[in-house]
C-alpha cells in the first residue's frame, strides 16, 4: 500500500473521530498513532477545503488528496521568485553560500521568501535540472580525471595489426568543461603526459586533482590515507596542485568525471566506432573535433554551454601555468653496490663511495639520471641507453683502492683462487681490462656467486672454457653453465692477440703481488656473498 493512500486513510479516520465521535485532538492522535500537530493540520486543511463528516459519497482518495494538498504551483503568490540559474552560477564562486544569496535576495525584495522557504524552492528547482548540478563545485577548484572503459583501435600501417588505445578524460567540476585524448596505455608516463596536456588545454591550473584510484596515480588506495605515486606527487607539486583521490566506495566523489566519461563514450567514441585510424595522432585529431562540438553544445535544461560556463566561471579562477611544463621523471629505489654504483634500468651510475650499502632514490627523466639520499641529490648523470654501461664520475671514486676499506681487486683475485686457477685468471683478466677496476666488482661477485647454483668444479671448468674463447665476462660464464658447455672439448687455439699497452691498464701480476701484502679480513667467497646481501 502506498504512502499516499495510507495518509488518506488517516485523514478519513481523523475526520470520523472528530465529527462523529467528538474526541479531542489529543485523543485522536493517540488513537491514530500520529502527532497532535498532524491532527490539527488535517482538520485545518479539511476546513479550508469545505469538507465535513461524512465525506461526499464516491470521493476517491486521489480526489481527497488534491482537495487537502493542492500542488504548490496552484497556490497564488505575489512573492517574487529568485533567478535560480543565476543563483546556481553564483554558488560556484569562491566564498558564496546560499545564505548570502538569500540575504541579497531579501535586500532587493523585503517581502520575499523566508530563508527556509527559499532553500526549499531552490531544492525544487535544482531537482528539475541536470542531476550533476546537485553538487556545487567551486570555480577553478577541482579537476576530475579518469579513463574511459571502451578503447579505440589503431591499425599498424605495415602489419595490419590493431592495437587498442586508452581514452583519458579530464573534467572541471564547476563548468563541466571536458578534455579527452587517446594514449597507448594507462602506464605512469602516459598518465602524467595526459595531465600535462590537459592543463595546457585548459590554459591554467586548478587547486585539486581528483583521480580515481588508478595504480598509476595512487599506489595504495586506502580509504583514510591513500598513498600517492611519487612521480604523480612530484608533477602535482610542480604545478602547485593538491591530489585528493576519490574515496573508495564513495561514488559521489567522482560522479562528475564518471558522468563525463559516459558522455565521451556516447558523444565521441560511439560516433567513431566504424572509422579506421592508422595512427594515434589521427585518432586524437578526430577526438578533438568531436570534443569541440561537445563543449559548444547548449545545455538541455539550462542556459549556456560548457565552454561559456568555463569562460565565465572557471577560466578567471585558474592559476597561471608555470613557465616550463613538467618534465616526466620516474622514481625508483636502489642500494649502492660495493663498486659505489647503482643499477638503473640495466645501466650503472656512480655515487660517492661513502654511500656504499646505503639505500638511495633514483629519478630517470628523458636525458638525466638523478640519485638522492635522504631527499638530497647526491649525483646526476647523463642518461645512458646502452645496457650494461657504466657512468662514473672521478669525484665519486676513492683516492686509492688500497686505502678504501676491504673491497679491492686483489681480494677478488684471492677469493676466486679458492674456486680454482681458471676462475682466478678470469677475475684477473676481467679487472685488468677496465680503466676503473671497481666497475668490475659486481661482475666478479656474479662469477663467484655462480658456485651456489652450479658448484665450484663446474664454475672452474666454465671459466677455463671462457678464457679459451676469450669471452671475458660474467654473462659468458653463466651461459656456458646454463647450456652445459663446460665439458665440451675446447676449440682449437687461436693466435694470441697483440697485447694492449695503456697507462691505466694493469696486468695480472699487479693484483697477484698486491694481494700478498694485505691481511684478508674475510675468509671465504661465501662470507663475501652474505655481506653483499646485507
Both 161 and 307 in a single domain? yes
For residue 241, is pLDDT > 50?
yes
Q: Is 50 inside a domain boundary?
A: yes
Both 309 and 436 in a single domain? no
Structural domain ending residue among the three candidates 269, 295, 317 = 317
Q: Is 462 inside a domain boundary?
A: yes
Structural domain ending residue among the three candidates 370, 396, 422 = 396
276 compared with 3, residue with greater pLDDT: 276
Structure confidence at residue 2 as a pLDDT band (50, 70, 90):
very low
Both 303 and 391 in a single domain? no
Both 164 and 300 in a single domain? yes
For residue 251, is pLDDT > 90?
no
Both 278 and 156 in a single domain? yes
Q: Tell me, what DSSP letter sits at residue 305?
A: B
pLDDT at 291: 93
Name the nearest CA neighbour of 130 among 97, 81, 175, 82: 175
What is the CA angle 499-503-505, rounded to 5?
A: 55
Q: Is 10 inside a domain boundary?
A: yes
pLDDT digits (tens, 9 = 90+) for 185-200: 888 889 999 999 999 9
Residues 6+ apart with CB under 8 A from 197: 179, 181
Both 285 and 188 in a single domain? yes
Both 474 and 501 in a single domain? yes
Q: Is 133 inside a domain boundary?
A: no
pLDDT at 517: 37
6 compared with 92, residue with greater pLDDT: 92
The phi and psi torsions of 167 (rounded to 5 degrees) equal: -115, 115
pLDDT digits (tens, 9 = 90+) for 97-123: 777 777 777 777 777 778 877 787 777
343 three-state secondary structure: strand
| 115-118, Cβ contacts within 8 angstroms, sequence gap of 24 or more | 118/82
Contact of 85 with 301, CB cutoff 8 Å:
no
Structural domain ending residue among the three candidates 317, 345, 366 = 317
Structure confidence at residue 524 as a pLDDT band (50, 70, 90):
very low
Contact of 217 with 191, CB cutoff 8 Å:
yes
Q: Is 325 inside a domain boundary?
A: no
Q: Tell me, what DSSP letter sits at residue 367?
A: S
Q: Is 171 inside a domain boundary?
A: yes
Both 239 and 287 in a single domain? yes
Grid coordinates belonging to 440: 668490475
Give me the domain span that covers residue 301.
142-317
Q: Measured between alpha carbons, how far is 311 from 481 in angstroms, rounded to an integer?
A: 69
* Beta pairing class for 242-243 and 208-211: parallel
pLDDT digits (tens, 9 = 90+) for 407-425: 667 777 888 888 888 888 8
- DSSP states of 515-528: HTTS--S---HHHH
Q: How far is CA 476 from CA 385, 462, 484, in A?
A: 22, 9, 12
Residues 59-76 have a mean pLDDT of 72
* Beta pairing class for 347-350 and 390-391: parallel
pLDDT at 18: 85
Both 405 and 338 in a single domain? no
Q: Is 8 inside a domain boundary?
A: yes
Q: Is 137 inside a domain boundary?
A: no
- Residues of the chain with pLDDT > 90: what percent? 12
Structure confidence at residue 31 as a pLDDT band (50, 70, 90):
confident
pLDDT at 368: 87
> What CATH number does the domain containing 308 carry?
3.30.420.10
Name the nearest CA neighbour of 47 among 23, 18, 6, 22: 18
Residues 217-230 have a mean pLDDT of 50
Both 380 and 516 in a single domain? no
Both 274 and 151 in a single domain? yes
Give the number of domains in the chain.
5
Both 116 and 24 in a single domain? no
Q: Measured between alpha carbons, how far is 166 from 288 in angstroms, rounded to an integer?
A: 15
Name the nearest CA neighbour of 226 among 246, 241, 254: 246
Amino acid at each position: 500500500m502506498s504512502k499516499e493512500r495510507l495518509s488518506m486513510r488517516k485523514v478519513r479516520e481523523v475526520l470520523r473521530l472528530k465529527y462523529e465521535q467528538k474526541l479531542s485532538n489529543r485523543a485522536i492522535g493517540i488513537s491514530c498513532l500520529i502527532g497532535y500537530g498532524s491532527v490539527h493540520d488535517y482538520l485545518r486543511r479539511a476546513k479550508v477545503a469545505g469538507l465535513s463528516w461524512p465525506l461526499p459519497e464516491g470521493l476517491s482518495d486521489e480526489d481527497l488528496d488534491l482537495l487537502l494538498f493542492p500542488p504548490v504551483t496552484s497556490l497564488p503568490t505575489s512573492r517574487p521568485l529568485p533567478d535560480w540559474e543565476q543563483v546556481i552560477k553564483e554558488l560556484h564562486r569562491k566564498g558564496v553560500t546560499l545564505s548570502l544569496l538569500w540575504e541579497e535576495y531579501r535586500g532587493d525584495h523585503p517581502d520575499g521568501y523566508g530563508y527556509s522557504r527559499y532553500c526549499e524552492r531552490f531544492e525544487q528547482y535544482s531537482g528539475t535540472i541536470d542531476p550533476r548540478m546537485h553538487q556545487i563545485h567551486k570555480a577553478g577548484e577541482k579537476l576530475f580525471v579518469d579513463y574511459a572503459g571502451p578503447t579505440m583501435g589503431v591499425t599498424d600501417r605495415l602489419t595490419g595489426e590493431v592495437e587498442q588505445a586508452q581514452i583519458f578524460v579530464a573534467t572541471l567540476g564547476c563548468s563541466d568543461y571536458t578534455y579527452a585524448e587517446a594514449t597507448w596505455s594507462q602506464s605512469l608516463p602516459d598518465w602524467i603526459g595526459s595531465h600535462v596536456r590537459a592543463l595546457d588545454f585548459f590554459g591554467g591550473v586548478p587547486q585539486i586533482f581528483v583521480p580515481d584510484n588508478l595504480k598509476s596515480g595512487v599506489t595504495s588506495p586506502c580509504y583514510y590515507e591513500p598513498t600517492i605515486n611519487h612521480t604523480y606527487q612530484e608533477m602535482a607539486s610542480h604545478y602547485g596542485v593538491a591530489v585528493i583521490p576519490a574515496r573508495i566506495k564513495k561514488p559521489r566523489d567522482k560522479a562528475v568525471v564518471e558522468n563525463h566519461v559516459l558522455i565521451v563514450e556516447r558523444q565521441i567514441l560511439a560516433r567513431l566506432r566504424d572509422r579506421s585510424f592508422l595512427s594515434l595522432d589521427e585518432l586524437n585529431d578526430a577526438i578533438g573535433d568531436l570534443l569541440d562540438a561537445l563543449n559548444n553544445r547548449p545545455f538541455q535544461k539550462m542556459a549556456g554551454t560548457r565552454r561559456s560556463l568555463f569562460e565565465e566561471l572557471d577560466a578567471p579562477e585558474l592559476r597561471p601555468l608555470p613557465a616550463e611544463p613538467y618534465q616526466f621523471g620516474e622514481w625508483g629505489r636502489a642500494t649502492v653496490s660495493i663498486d659505489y654504483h647503482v643499477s638503473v634500468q640495466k645501466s650503472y651510475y656512480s655515487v660517492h663511495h661513502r654511500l656504499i650499502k646505503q639505500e638511495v632514490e633514483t629519478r630517470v627523466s628523458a636525458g638525466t639520471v638523478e640519485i638522492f639520499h635522504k631527499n638530497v641529490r647526491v649525483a646526476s648523470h647523463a642518461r645512458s641507453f646502452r645496457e650494461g654501461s657504466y657512468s662514473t664520475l672521478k669525484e665519486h671514486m676513492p683516492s686509492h683502492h688500497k686505502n678504501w676499506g676491504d673491497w679491492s681487486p686483489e681480494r677478488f683475485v684471492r677469493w676466486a683462487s679458492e674456486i680454482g686457477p681458471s676462475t682466478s685468471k678470469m677475475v684477473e683478466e676481467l679487472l685488468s681490462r677496465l680503466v676503473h677496476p671497481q666497475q668490475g666488482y659486481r661482475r666478479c661477485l656474479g662469477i663467484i656467486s655462480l658456485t651456489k647454483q652450479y658448484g665450484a668444479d663446474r664454475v672452474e671448468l666454465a671459466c677455463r672454457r671462457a678464457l679459451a674463447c676469450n669471452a671475458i665476462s660474467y654473462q659468458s660464464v653463466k651461459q656456458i653453465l646454463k647450456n652445459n658447455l663446460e665439458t665440451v672439448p675446447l676449440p682449437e687455439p687461436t693466435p694470441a692477440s697483440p697485447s694492449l699497452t695503456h697507462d691505466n691498464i694493469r696486468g695480472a701480476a699487479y693484483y697477484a703481488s698486491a694481494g700478498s701484502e694485505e691481511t684478508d679480513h674475510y675468509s671465504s667467497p661465501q662470507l663475501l656473498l652474505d655481506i653483499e646481501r646485507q
